[in-house]
Amino acid sequence: MHRRTFLTASAAGLAGLSGVSPARSSETGSPVTTGGKARSTILIWLSGGPSHIDLWDMKPDAPAEVRGAFQPVSTSAAEITLCEHLPHLALQMHHLALVRSLGQRGRGPNDHHAGYYYNLTGHPAGPSFPNSRMPQADDWPFVGSVAAAKRPGHASLPSLIWLPARPEHPRPGSISARLGPEYDPLLVQGSHAAPLDFRAPSLVLEGDVTVPRMQHRHGLLDALDSAERSLQRKAPIENYSSLQRKAFSLLTSPGTKNAFDLTQEPEAVRRRYGETVNAMSMLMARRLVEAGVPFVTVYWFNDYEEDKRRGCLGGAWDTHWKNFSCLQDYLLPRFDRPFAALLADLHERGLLEETLVLVTSEMGRTPKVGDPRSGGKEAAEPGRDHWTHCQTALLAGGGIRGGQVYGSSDRIAAYPADRPVGPEHIAHTVYHAMGIRDLSARDHQNRPYHLLDEGEPLTSLF
């Protein structure tokens, strides 16, 4: 099917047309966007679940089997410490707020997919959520999809971009679901072998299809659609036509390709971030919010071959094996430098005040060192197991006051203690930062519903 590009166009959500009509973005059809400073949001998702107790909620006075091998160090924010292996980020701590009292309160299994769903949507997964579950059409929508629905769209670029995506099924909670396919993210693929080579397959004209040929096809489709609509005028058909128009606009816009071309960035800027695909994804995120894209997700792209070589067999931040060596020698250096560069770069360009940056994940790690699946606490290089009961979220920009800590965990970072919050509070905080006050929507039968009833924004962060 060589002509499938413009027909499937996953960027415009055409793949999601089966079974769901789009919801309206609000009761009036026009979003309410007053009150927030954030024009855009960058979500950095550390897939697998980073160890909060080893990175940003350290307990140096706890027993050895809890505190682990790392030491805390001072930062640019008075009285706030971070892991010694985050030296670049320590210099940017005055921009950051740490929410150390984030937990899921047992509202789902202690596993990845339930954690994805809760943290990506703000809605608990429930006790029977399987760890192999695919996204479903009636799921609650991804926070980024809500932002895309409620904020004014970009003139030529998608409102929601997800990178560096892998050509595999999406995670639960990562699609627009009941909001309708129009608000699904544009998936942009990255490569470990070629970190500068980002590609949105749905925005590529394949084979001998040129822009003039595409525009000619557009005219033909318009004629066919007019004839079809005269016979059968239904919401799914109108939605399909809307998505076609979006796909054609993206495919034929000269600005679309340039937005994803990192070679236009000076070499010194690229060196500042680093040479990995995750580093270049953070640079791409800065580039996209600078262009006015409302929501960009950077989903940590782990290298399976490198994981195996190092014995970090959990995958990405899922440190069941060799928790400390995999963090110290591999994961932290690859996160610390580009993330610190992103914060500094946004600040220097005057973009941080209007860009909310959120770092989170599906879970934290167990307070006690020693994962049974990797030999327990007696292992030569022990790991930490899943722990959805407590984790830390990092926020900066968009009106957030840096250099502060919200809430606390207990003495061993096992459970939230002071000012406990859930993922619904983080979702509301994103909406608050972006000036989104109206969270009403309508389903495919035009019945009103609310997108997030539980929780409230953490307004004291601002």
Domains delineated in the chain: 4-461 (3.40.720.10)
For residue 164, whether the previous peptide bond is cis, meaning omega lies within 30 degrees of 0, is yes
Average pLDDT over every residue of 425-439: 97
Average pLDDT over every residue of 358-386: 95
The helix (H) or strand (E) run that includes residue 186 is strand 186-189
Cα→Cα distances 240→27, 186, 234, 237, 457, Å: 22, 17, 10, 5, 35
Q: What are phi and psi of 149, to 5 degrees?
A: -75, -30
Residue 232 has pLDDT above 60, yes or no: no
Identify the residue whose tokens are 């500068």. Answer: 196
The helix (H) or strand (E) run that includes residue 277 is helix 277-290
Point out the least confidently predicted range of 205-209, 230-234, 373-377, 435-439: 230-234
* pLDDT tens-place string over residues 321-333: 999 999 999 999 9
Identify the residue whose tokens are 């995670």. Answer: 171
Q: Quote the DSSP letter at residue 80.
A: -
Point out the least confidently predicted range of 59-68, 227-236, 296-305: 227-236
* pLDDT tens-place string over residues 154-173: 888 889 999 998 766 689 99
Residue 366 has pLDDT above 90, yes or no: yes
CA angle 402–405–411, rounded 5-degree value: 160
Q: Are 70 and 324 in contact (CB under 8 A)?
A: yes
Distance (Å, whole) CA 37 – CA 350: 13
Identify the residue whose tokens are 């009961």. Answer: 389
CA angle 393–399–401, rounded 5-degree value: 65
Sign for the pseudo-dihedral over CA of 415, 419, 424, 428: negative
Q: Are strands 391-396 and 96-102 parallel, antiparallel or unpaired?
A: antiparallel
Length of the chain, in residues: 462
Q: Are 151 and 393 in contact (CB under 8 A)?
A: no
Point out the least confidently predicted range of 38-47, 227-236, 269-278, 338-347: 227-236
pLDDT given at position 20? 33
Residue 388 has pLDDT above 80, yes or no: yes
Tell me the percentage of the chain whose pLDDT exceeds 70: 79
* pLDDT tens-place string over residues 23-49: 333 333 334 444 479 999 999 999 999
Structure tokens at 342: 């992103």
Structure tokens at 1: 């099917």
Q: What are phi and psi of 41, to 5 degrees?
A: -130, 135
pLDDT given at position 314? 85
* pLDDT tens-place string over residues 103-161: 999 999 999 999 999 999 999 999 999 998 999 999 999 999 999 999 998 888 889 99
Where residue 207 falls among pLDDT bands split at 50, 70, 90? low
The number of C-alpha atoms within 13 Å of 232 and in the hemisphere containing its C-beta is 4
Which one-letter amino acid corresponds to residue 247? A
Measuring CA to CA, which residue among 312, 343, 342, 346 is closest to residue 329? 312
Which one-letter amino acid corresponds to residue 270? R
Distance (Å, whole) CA 242 – CA 180: 12
* Of 214 and 293, the one with more pLDDT: 293
Which one-letter amino acid corresponds to residue 348? E
Residue 4 has pLDDT above 50, yes or no: no
* Of 75 and 314, the one with more pLDDT: 75
Q: Are 435 and 35 in contact (CB under 8 A)?
A: yes
Which one-letter amino acid corresponds to residue 312? C
Q: Are 388 and 422 in contact (CB under 8 A)?
A: no
Q: Are strands 96-102 and 404-406 parallel, antiparallel or unpaired?
A: parallel
Average pLDDT over every residue of 421-450: 96
